[in-house]
Amino acid sequence: MDSKTAPEATSEGALPDLGSPTSTRSWVALLAVILLLAAAGIWGYLGSVSVLTQVPAVAAGGGLIYEITAPTDGTIASIVSPGVVIPEGAPVATIDPIGAGLAVPVNQNDVVLVSSWNVVLGSPVTKGQVIARGAIFNMQPKTAGVDAAEPLAGLAFVSGDMADIIKSAPSLTLSAVGTSGQVLTAPVVLLSVGAFPVSESRVALMTGNPYFALNLMKSDRGNTFEVYLGYANIDDYNKVEGSVKEGMTPIVVSGAQATLTITEVKTNPLSFLFGSNG
């Protein structure tokens, strides 16, 4: 008879020792299930939770974004500095026409600011060519087809589904990169959503980024809408518009990169199990 001691028999289905790896995994799994049920219970009791979604946007800086075009063929003789407010009727550039003749001024009929130039001194240009991007400060949104009298804070281009979410969002916040490089954040409100999908060229014009426009059109499959945003607080608007009226460089320039943060309320589909009216 073998003198070795036989292992003690254990009953079938007995739990493993608490210190074993199998036991540790079991307790971790149990804890995860408990936490999941607790979270579901809280969500179900409350009925809904707030979710933040961020989408790219463009600051309007109190004015409408637009493009400056050359009035004639020739070469660029002078240009104003970017970020400087130009009075109504004053030239933002001059063009030496082809052949003889006086320099042709590039005048605008509103208070304007050039945010960026597509040309330099001596650049050859043709009539109708876009030579700069800027902002017009005397035009109200309704002039551009927006059914609102409030000044624009910014624009965003989103899918139709996201536009519907924005319409019902309890709060919207716009963060824009200011002229000093500092990010400025302000609460905004929805003024209007475009009635029809926008074109790729429109997105490229407003954002100044044709690559973004191309990728957006691909992801939304042509179902992209323009969203107009206004200031929720008049003080935020006065900070932007006030500097323009005083001839100072605006703290936010139209066309500046921005981010729209959307507070979306999502309802738990199982909330009825917990008796919530959420």
Q: What tokens appear for 207 in the block?
A: 């954002």
Residues 43-63+139-278: name the CATH superfamily: Efflux pump adaptor protein, beta barrel domain (2.40.30.170)
Q: Give me the residues paired with residue 183 across strands.
A: 177
The rounded radius of gyration (Å) of the Cα atoms in the chain is 30
> How many Cβ atoms sit within 10 Å of the Cβ of residue 63?
26
Q: What tokens appear for 157 in the block?
A: 């281009």
Is the Cα torsion angle 210, 214, 215, 220 positive or negative in sign?
positive
Q: Where in the chain is the domain with CATH 2.40.30.170?
A: 43-63+139-278
| Separation of alpha carbons 264 and 101, rounded Å | 60
- What is each CA distance from 112 to 65, 133, 138, 177, 250, in whole angstroms? 10, 10, 8, 19, 11
Beta-carbon contacts of 180 under 8 Å, excluding residues fewer than 6 positions away, are: 251
Residue 233 pLDDT = 84
Residue 174 pLDDT = 92
Is 149 within 8 Å of 128 (Cβ atoms)? no
Q: Where in the chain is the domain with CATH 2.40.50.100?
A: 66-138
Residue 148 pLDDT = 45
Entry pTM? 0.60
Residue 76 pLDDT = 94
Residue 263 pLDDT = 86
Average pLDDT over the chain, rounded to an integer: 75
Residue 245 pLDDT = 58
Q: What tokens appear for 32 in the block?
A: 């995860």
Residue 124 pLDDT = 94
Tens digit of each residue's pLDDT (9 = 90 or more) over 85-109: 788 888 999 999 988 789 999 988 7
Is 95 within 8 Å of 71 (Cβ atoms)? yes
In CATH, 66-138 is 2.40.50.100: yes
Q: What is the Cβ-side half-sphere exposure of residue 173, based on CA atoms within 13 angstroms?
A: 11
Beta-carbon contacts of 17 under 8 Å, excluding residues fewer than 6 positions away, are: 23
Q: Which stretches of the chain score pLDDT less than 50? A: 1, 6, 9-15, 18, 140-148, 271-278
Q: How far apart are the first and last CA of the chain?
A: 74
Q: Is 163 helix (H, G, I), strand (E, B) or coil?
A: helix
Is 116 within 8 Å of 93 (Cβ atoms)? no
Burial of 255 (0-12, 13-18, 19+ CB in 10 A): buried
Residue 78 pLDDT = 94
Residue 94 pLDDT = 95
Q: What angle do CA 111, 116, 121 make, to 5 degrees?
A: 100
Beta-carbon contacts of 50 under 8 Å, excluding residues fewer than 6 positions away, are: 170, 263, 264, 265, 266
